[in-house]
Amino acid sequence: MEPIKITVWNEFLSEKSPKIAKVYPEGIHGAIRQIFAGNEHYQVRTATLEDPECGLSQELLDQTDVLVWWAHCAHDKIPDEIAKRVQLRVLDGMGFIVLHSAHLCKPFVRLMGTVCRSKWRENDELERIWVIEPGHPIARGLPEYIELPQEETYGERFEVPAPDNLVFISWFSGGEVFRSGCCYYRGLGKIFYFRPGHEEYPTFYREDISQLLKNAVEWAKPSGGPHPTLGHYEALEPVKDKFEGRSDRERKHLDLPGSGGKEQNK
């Protein structure tokens, strides 16, 4: 069986602070990489904002089964053309795991079609993450809830489309609740948003979070299903072609008034 090809992307800016570097000396991407490293079932690499093309070349994305994305403060540093590149790869089947503040990254916002904002507060509060879909593959092997003694607080309303599957919800000791584990299908790709992971807390070293992310990668990897044919398609059955003997321009209605003589995107 071919290994799952994982790319872990991180801005790698917060870790320039000594306070954050003490928590994640190899960077947050390094800590996430270690979750998958040393296991022949995975082939994992990392990329950061400072790499050429922000570490997101077409070649790299074409070789990625699942892209794991952590970000916080430099969403605007990703050029629109690279955000679109990621979006199109997801639509073509690449899995996309979006962590913590990456809900505001350009590719996720493009894929959701909404502003993706929420309430937030950094106050070292307890987060209790409840599994509300225990039969979902991402919940495999997890306890009924995960308790993080300190995390950044997010609160509803979370301005995203209703998830196709909602696997986790969070409660915070300050009173907020949040949809913290959201699954989406977009085109041929699968997207999982997971809320925890503030840079000041060692969340990504925990065994339960590691198990959850492994489950998420398994769920999000390409399914291997057929690629649908789009655009004009010849009939499979012997039906009469109403445009038989006529030009392609007539078939595409390019000679209608107002068409401008330009081929339409169908």
CATH number at residue 195: 3.40.50.880
pLDDT for 93: 97
> For residue 241, what are its two tokens?
């072609």
Which domain does 34 fall in, by range?
4-220
Q: How many domains does the chain have?
A: 1
pTM above 0.85, yes or no: yes
User: Would you say the C-alpha torsion 120, 122, 126, 128 has a positive or negative sign?
Assistant: positive
Q: Is residue 9 part of a domain?
A: yes
The predicted-structure confidence for 3-51, as pLDDT tens digits, reads as follows 999 999 999 999 999 999 999 999 999 999 999 999 999 999 999 999 9
Q: Which are the contacts of 60, defined by CB distance < 8 A and separation ≥ 6?
A: 7, 45, 47
Asked if residue 190 lies in contact with residue 137, where contact means CB atoms within 8 angstroms, the answer is no
The predicted-structure confidence for 138-196, as pLDDT tens digits, reads as follows 999 999 999 999 999 999 999 999 999 999 999 999 999 999 999 999 999 999 999 99
Q: Is residue 261 part of a domain?
A: no
pLDDT for 248: 82
Q: Is residue 237 part of a domain?
A: no
Q: Is residue 251 part of a domain?
A: no
Q: Is residue 250 part of a domain?
A: no
Q: Is residue 17 part of a domain?
A: yes
Q: Is residue 265 part of a domain?
A: no
Q: Is residue 240 part of a domain?
A: no
Mean pLDDT of the chain: 94
Q: In the structure, what pLDDT confidence band is assigned to residue 249 with cuts at 50, 70 and 90? A: confident
In 37-136, which ranges are continuous DSSP H helix? Answer: 58-62, 80-91, 106-112
